[in-house]
């Protein structure tokens, strides 16, 4: 199991920040997932052994956090917020538009593995609603037309 040098640097630095090893678990899982796409059995086993935890401990934590996943997702995870501030300004229309354009529903992945779609809870972009996060990038003040352009831009990036 190999992670990037940046991961290793961050991981060993973080271990020095806390009195217990286990404390690095949540951010470490997210950093690992960023590199591997999802938390596979192999990744879980590796992190468990590094932190002297059982795999069950690690899985127990993974299942709690909505950003962590044990299943592969598309290269671009399109997360559409439909919580109160977004729903009032067209969040549901954005979700519908994405579903049409991508041909997938909530938690679906396109056959080419490029896109996943997720309806998410408040992402902290209420004043710039409706908003979407693609992986970690915020796209705000969207309309269905602007949403099309955002998806098109990612499709172009994905082909490269």
Partner 1 sequence: MAELVSHPDEVRVVSSRFGLGATNIDRFLQLDGYQAVKKALTMQPEVIINEVKTSGLRGRGGAGFNAGLKWSFVPKQSAKPKYILCNGDESEPGTCKDRLIFEQDPHSVIEGVIIAGLAVGAHAGYIYLRGEYRYLSEIMQRAIADAYQRGFLGKNIFGSGFDFDVHWHGGAGAYEVGEESALMESLEGKRGVPRIRPPFPAVVGLWGGPTVINNAETLASIPPIILKGAEWYASLGTPKNGGTRLFCLSGHIMKPGVYELPMGYNLAKMIYQVGGGIPNGRKLKAVVPGGSSCPLLTAEEIDVPMDFDALMKVGSMLGSGGVVIVDDSTCMVKFALRIMKFYQHESCGWCIPCREGTDWLKKTLTRFHRGGGLRKDIDNIQYLSENMLGRTFCPLGDAAALPTISIVKKFRQEFEDHLDGRPCPFEKSPAVEELPVLA
CB of 99 to partner 1, least distance (A): 10
| Of 31, 36, 38, residue with least CA distance to 12 | 31
Q: Does 132 participate in binding partner 1 (rule CB under 8 A)?
A: no
Whole-angstrom distance, CA of residue 107 vs CA of residue 104: 8
- Residue 91 near residue 130, CB atoms below 8 Å: yes
- Residue 148 near residue 101, CB atoms below 8 Å: yes
| The two three-digit tokens of residue 131, written as one number | 């908003």
57-96: contacts with partner 1 (CB under 8 A): 60-61, 64-68, 82-85, 87-89, 92
- Stretch in the footprint of partner 1 (CB under 8 A) among 27-35, 107-115, 142-150, 151-159: 27-35
Interacting residue ranges for partner 1, rule: CB under 8 A: 17-20, 22-27, 29-30, 51, 60-61, 64-68, 82-85, 87-89, 92, 121-129, 133, 136-138, 140-141
């Amino acid at each position: 199991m190999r992670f990037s040098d940046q991961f290793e640097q961050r991981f060993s630095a973080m271990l020095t920040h806390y009195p217990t090893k286990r404390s690095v678990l949540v951010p470490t899982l997210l950093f690992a997932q960023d590199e591997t796409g999802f938390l596979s059995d192999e990744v879980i086993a590796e992190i468990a052994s590094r932190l002297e935890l059982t795999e069950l401990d690690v899985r127990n934590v993974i299942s709690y956090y909505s950003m962590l996943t044990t299943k592969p997702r598309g290269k671009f995870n399109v997360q559409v917020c439909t919580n109160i501030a977004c729903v009032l300004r067209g969040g549901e229309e954005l979700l519908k538009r994405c579903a049409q354009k991508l041909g997938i529903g909530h938690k679906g992945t396109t056959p080419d593995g490029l896109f996943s779609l997720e309806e998410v809870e408040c992402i902290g972009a209420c004043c710039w609603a409706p908003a979407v996060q693609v992986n970690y990038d915020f796209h705000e003040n969207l309309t269905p037309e602007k949403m099309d352009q955002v998806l098109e831009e990612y499709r172009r990036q994905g082909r490269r």
